[in-house]
């Protein structure tokens, strides 16, 4: 049986995206429930993880229902208990914390209502660490229809970047699309240019912007050297 403490220590050091928008949280939980409902649950005072599964998301009630725990805890869950919950989608770990609100009994077996988590942690396994720039950096993306999207750099690594663009990008881009050109103006006289493969794209909560994460493709030696010099001058992303 895995230790809750060891699991929490492991994910502390992992790069992750924090999902805070309500619509995004519900969408991710719905996908988790439909594709990979099996989860692990831990309560701090027990310091071990037990198995369960996601049963239902009741958005109007702000609750998330989970199945009975296996093996059963020596002291049953009670309203107010704080839980750490771990799951995964397509091999990407997802975790969150939630509070037990209520439970129901059906044929002698309990199901539990958890408060809808305020934050979901989507763990990212990165080969290259990300870095952020202290100043605005313009980025120009040439789309599949030769249209140019202008954005601003959010983070960058030797393997790819994150860029904030207008919401119109959601109409033409999707995961797996290869953009023929991505230009990052790293200085007033230098730019890094390469093709870019879109790895993920999503609307940014409470803004008229979209976030694109992409992987550099066909980066020639000249631009690779420019990228390395630029990254060396930056601080790691938090």
Domain boundary among 90, 124, 158: 124
Of 105, 160, 157, 95, nearest to 130 (Cα)?
A: 157
* Per-residue pLDDT at 7 exceeds 80: no
pLDDT at residue number 236: 60
Same domain, 114 and 21: yes
**3 state SS of 24:** helix
In the block, tokens 């993880």 appear at 49
Residues 174 and 220 in one domain: yes
Cα 169 to Cα 172: distance, rounded to the nearest angstrom: 6
Exposure string for 107-122, b = 16+ CB within 10 A, e = fewer: eeeebbbbbbbeebbb
Residues 118 and 141 placed together within one structural domain of the fold: no
104 lies in the same domain as 8:
yes
Q: What's the whole-model pTM score?
A: 0.50
Residues 27 and 111 in one domain: yes
Q: Which residue has the tokens 């369960």?
A: 52
Q: Are 230 and 132 in contact (CB under 8 A)?
A: no
| 120 shares a domain with 28 | yes
Q: CATH number of the domain that 22 lies in?
A: 2.30.110.10
Domain end, chosen from 124, 150, 182, is at 124
What does DSSP assign to residue 135?
Answer: S
- Which domain-ending residue is among 67, 97, 124? 124
Q: Alpha carbon of 158 to those of 126, 191, 214, 219, 234: distances in Å?
A: 11, 14, 11, 10, 12
Instruction: Say how many domains are in the chain.
Output: 2
pLDDT tens readout for residues 13-34: 445 678 888 888 898 899 888 8
Range of the domain at 222: 131-236
Q: Are residues 190 and 171 in the same domain?
A: yes
Going by pLDDT thresholds of 50, 70 and 90, the confidence category of residue 111 is very high
């Amino acid at each position: 049986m895995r230790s809750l403490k060891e699991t929490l220590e492991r994910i502390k050091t992992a790069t992750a995206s924090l999902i805070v928008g309500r619509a995004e949280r519900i969408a991710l939980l719905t996908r988790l429930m439909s594709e990979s409902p099996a989860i692990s649950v831990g309560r701090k005072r027990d310091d071990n993880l037990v198995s369960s599964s996601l049963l239902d998301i009741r958005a109007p009630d702000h609750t998330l229902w989970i199945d009975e725990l296996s093996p059963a805890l020596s002291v049953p869950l009670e309203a107010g208990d704080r839980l750490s919950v771990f799951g995964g989608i397509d091999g990407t770990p997802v975790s969150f914390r939630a509070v037990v609100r209520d439970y129901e009994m059906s044929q002698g077996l309990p199901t539990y209502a958890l408060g809808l988590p305020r934050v979901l942690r989507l763990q990212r396994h990165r080969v290259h660490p990300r870095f952020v720039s202290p100043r605005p950096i313009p980025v120009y993306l040439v789309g599949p229809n030769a249209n140019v999207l202008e954005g601003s750099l959010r983070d960058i690594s030797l393997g790819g970047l994150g860029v904030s663009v207008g919401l119109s990008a959601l109409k033409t881009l999707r995961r797996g699309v290869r953009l023929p050109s991505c230009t990052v103006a790293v200085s007033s006289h230098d730019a890094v240019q390469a093709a870019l493969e879109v790895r993920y794209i999503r609307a940014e909560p409470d803004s008229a912007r979209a976030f694109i994460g992409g992987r550099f493709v066909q980066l020639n030696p000249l631009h690779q050297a420019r990228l390395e010099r630029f990254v060396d001058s930056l601080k790691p992303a938090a």
